[in-house]
Structure 1
């Protein structure tokens, strides 16, 4: 059995060699998908700029070091930074607004220049109300979000927003080829493959490609008996 490269027509004796050839000679540019809309980008920096500009309420929460102004994506990284870089340092600047003390107050003062939302459970502060509300769910894990129409409960706002479309009939994703619209992004992506012919799921045994993963799994069952 031979395997033909669809890009350059080279022939290989095994699917493994064909796959390695495609990886080296015909690499597919990595794409970064925005999970809040249908835009895609070729580099992560463009995606970050897009989120900052178009979805400010969904930016990853950051943790600010009050000593030097560095920001971190998780609290554990901030604590590790504090232990290694600022261990043993003593606060010297007193904030006249909130009474807290800091090694360098200039990184703290901006939080008083505009409205911020402070968590009463842990003291973490948020510029955006949506980020603050989402954070509160961490402390209220036993209080799931409920649908006001049918009382179904959900663990996060993304899930309840998706569910609400079943009541409102909202279909934000529209196919540019046929005009059909969808309430779920994943269903929209799967539908697009009918027009583009994309087959991203490849059998590891024989190299046959499929449009849907479930079809590939059913196909793979055939190889278990051989």
Structure 2
């Protein structure tokens, strides 16, 4: 079950694929002796390839070559979608998924999909540990508030809400973001990349949630219901705007005249007319409103 949940394929029955070299420790099969030799280092801990610029050692020469680019700054693998470059093909492959929207790792329990294998493992541990053998739910408490996170990565992201840290810089403008995912979605505004496709009408979207909301226009689903009347809506934002009809809330204020509005769009329309009126008032002939003083009668 574990291999199926992680999206890995298993060979039916007890049959093994044809191979010439088997690991005497764990029984894995390899088509070449060189691959078996590299694999054996995972058991022995042997790291025969030292870095000439630091003290790190590696079990494979290829891993050493990739590491040495940290020192040299070499990034020979360019992204075809943006200007970023990477030190290894693996890093480039993972990065490209931020543009293409590819999510090859699927949870067979709730059908969510992920771009990285460790994201799937973290999801399983956090959400399905009760039904997946080998996983135990571990909590990561925040030292600044009462929130508990499901992973160390989630805790790191959460703590930025306290520190205000924004380590992710947009490569096209000056904006910075606390989360890498927010940066990815923002950069699509610059690149115009829309990786999420509607299978019914062909429209494309930059974010998964906008596609999900759009799909409801085809299915007719309206999961967000008003508690004060019988109306329902396809998106939480629509419900929020509708609720102001009942509450009378007007959170948008005109800075020029002080009037309040319940919708941002209504405020935008008002500001056009308000700004125009202000300009006309400023350009009006000052003498028109003055009283003409006549000289005293002689």
Q: Same fold (TM over 0.5)?
A: no
| Superposition TM-score tier, normalisation by shorter sequence | 0.3 to 0.5
TM-score normalized by structure 2?
0.32
Higher RCO by CA contacts (8 Å cutoff, separation 6 or greater): 1
TM-score normalized by structure 1?
0.41
Which is greater in Rg?
2
